[in-house]
Amino acid sequence: MSTRPFLAFLAVLAVLGLLGFGLLSKGETKIALGEAVPDRELPVLGGPGQGSIADYRGHWVLVNLWASWCTPCRQEAPELERFAQRYRKRDLIVLGINVQDNSDDALAFLRDYRVGYPQLRSTGDERSAAFGSTGVPENFLVDPHGRLALIWRGPVDEEFLQQRVVPVVEGRL
Partner 1 sequence: MSHRGALLALCARKAPQVWLSTAVLALVVLLIPAPAAATSQTSIADVEDEVMCPICGTLLELAESPQAQRERALVRRLIAAGESKAEVKDALVAQYGRRVLALPSGSGFDLSAYLVPAIAFALVAVALALGVRRWRRAGGPPQPGGTGAPQGEDAERLKADLARYDL
Please report, as ranges, the residues that interact with partner 1 according to CB under 8 A: 67-71, 100-105, 123-126
What's the min distance (Å) between Cβ of 12 and partner 1? Answer: 15
By C-beta, is 60 or 96 nearer to partner 1?
96
Return d(Cα 120, Cα 98) in angstroms, integer: 6
Q: How far is the CB of 103 from partner 1 (least distance, A)?
A: 7
Residue 52 or 123: which CB sits closer to partner 1?
123
Q: How far is the CB of 93 from partner 1 (least distance, A)?
A: 26
Handedness of CA 6, 9, 14, 15 (dihedral sign): positive
Nearer of residues 124 and 154 to partner 1, judged by Cβ: 124
Q: Which is nearer to partner 1, 43 or 144 (CB)?
A: 43
Nearest to residue 77, comparing CAs of 106, 44, 37, 45? 106
Helix (H, G, I), strand (E, B) or coil at 35: coil
Nearer to partner 1, 126 or 170 (CB): 126
Q: Which residues pair with 95 in a beta bridge?
A: 63
Shortest Å, Cβ 82 to partner 1: 25
Question: Nearest distance from residue 44's CB to partner 1, in Å?
Answer: 16
Q: How distant, in Å, are the alpha carbons of 59, 66, 103, 119 from that of 87?
A: 11, 20, 27, 17
Q: In whole angstroms, what is the distance from residue 19 CA to residue 152 CA?
A: 34
